[in-house]
Structure formats: structure tokens, C-alpha cells
Amino acid sequence: MDHGASSRCRACVDAGVNSYRRPVDITYYAGVAAMDIKDSVALVTGANRGLGRHLAQQLLERGAAKVYATARRPELVDLPGVEVLRLDITDPESVAQAAAAAQDVTLLVNNAGIATFADLVTGDKAAIRLELETAFWGTLEMVRAFAPILRANGGGAIVNLNSAMSWVAADRANAYHVAKAAQWALTSGVRLELASQNTRVAGVYLGMTDTGHQQWWDGPMGDPAVAVGAMLDGLEADQLEILVDDLATGAKAALSADPRDFYPAAA
């Protein structure tokens, strides 16, 4: 690399580092207003089952004034007390319709997801794309649609349901790993971009949780009600990355470890 190119790269790095020192970012990390669930108006994606249903239920139990429970098949939402909306986060028109119907939202919970169990080298490319369409593009579509609504309503919060696999790879789940890693990066990016409008952005990270859809898994699983309680506790405690369980904590720590220690089969 020539000296001029090296200088330009150094300038880019310096500019990136210095961007974190802008007053808006200092204000944010000093504390965008913590989210108070009581009296909030929440929208939960993928609320017809699993963690999404538990989230909608516990939000109501914690005093949310209204909970929009959304799903691609709204007839499957069976939770009393919620307002049901049809929503497919991979369909921009569906997202726009949900945003138009939920102009009072102060808390957006991006829970909807998919796992195709595709590998990267030999897996179905359509499945890999679907993972990214859901975890990255679908989440981004929701953020873009609801950011102006949150701004108009005082800032509020966005919570993205990520995964311990945002940080670790695994055979037969690498498409999911890539998609969740992209969602982690998205969460960090929009946190910075939305700081100036006082919108708190949190990511939730957890391992295997028993939502009734892991018949293929014979290892330990967390209790979804306990996991959701930890998520909401972390939100109200103003945590930016909410690590729900030991697997998530270990996966985050692995980022700074030698890959040979974490992936001995590939060493």
C-alpha cells in the first residue's frame, strides 16, 4: 500500500472513532431516557407463538396501555387483551399498513424470525436469502417505518430479538448465524442513528429456549417466561445488550478469544 492510501485509510479510521465523540453520541451513552413499560404502547412482531406471545402477555402484565400483537396469520393470535394486526415483516407493503394502523407506538419489539438450518457452502441459497430477508431486511424495514412514529411520540424504544448465534457459528445453522450477526450490526447502527431523537435501541441475546418448536434439540433449554422476564427487566434497566443466559454471555466473550479455542474442529 502506498503512503497516500495508508494516510487516507488512517483518516477514515480516525473519522470513524471521532464520530463517537459527537455531542449527540455522548448524550446518548450518558443515557437516552430508559424505557418505562407501564403505560407504553407496544408492538410485538411474531406474537402468535413462542417468545412473541410471552412478550405480548408480559407487556400487558407490566402495565402497557396497549399491545399490538402482530403475525403473518393474525387468526393464530389467541391472547386476550391485545390488538391484533396482520404483519409480514418481509413485505414492505404489509409493514407500511401496520405502521399506518399503529401511529401511537412507543415500544417496537422486533421478535419475528426464522431458522432454515441451511449451511453456507452447500445449503439452499434461497434459504440463506430468506434468513437475511427476515432477520436483517425485515428488521430494518420495521425500524425505518416506525422510527418517525417513535420520534413523534417522544422517542420510545426499539428492542431487537437477536441470538447468542449473532456471535458464534455452528454447523447446520450458519445461515442463521450470518443473519443474526447482520441483525446485531444493524442494532448497533440504528442505536447510533436514532440517538438524536431520544429512541433507545436494545438488543436481546439468548440461547436455546423452550418455545415448543425445538423437537430436534436434545440439549438444555431455557424457560421462555423467565427469558422474557429477563428481557423486559434489562429494557427497564437501560441495558443496551441484554444477555439473557449463560450461553449468550459465553458467546459474547468468545469474540475476544482465540477462534481455535472455540472452534477446535476447524483449528
Name the grid cell of 166: 449473532
pLDDT tens for residues 91-123? 999 999 999 999 999 999 999 999 999 999 999
Instruction: Say how far apart CA 146 and CA 140 lie, in whole Å.
Output: 10
Long-range contacts of 209-217 (CB under 8 A, 24+ apart): 209/51, 211/49, 211/50, 211/51, 212/49, 212/50, 213/49, 213/50
pTM of the model: 0.85
Q: Give, for all 267 residues of the chain, the pLDDT tens digit.
A: 444 444 444 444 444 444 444 444 444 445 566 788 999 999 999 999 999 999 999 999 999 999 999 999 999 999 999 999 999 999 999 999 999 999 999 999 999 999 999 999 999 999 999 999 999 999 999 999 999 999 999 999 999 999 999 999 988 889 999 999 999 999 999 999 999 999 999 999 998 765 655 544 555 667 888 889 999 999 999 999 999 999 899 999 989 988 888 777 776
Name the grid cell of 16: 470513524
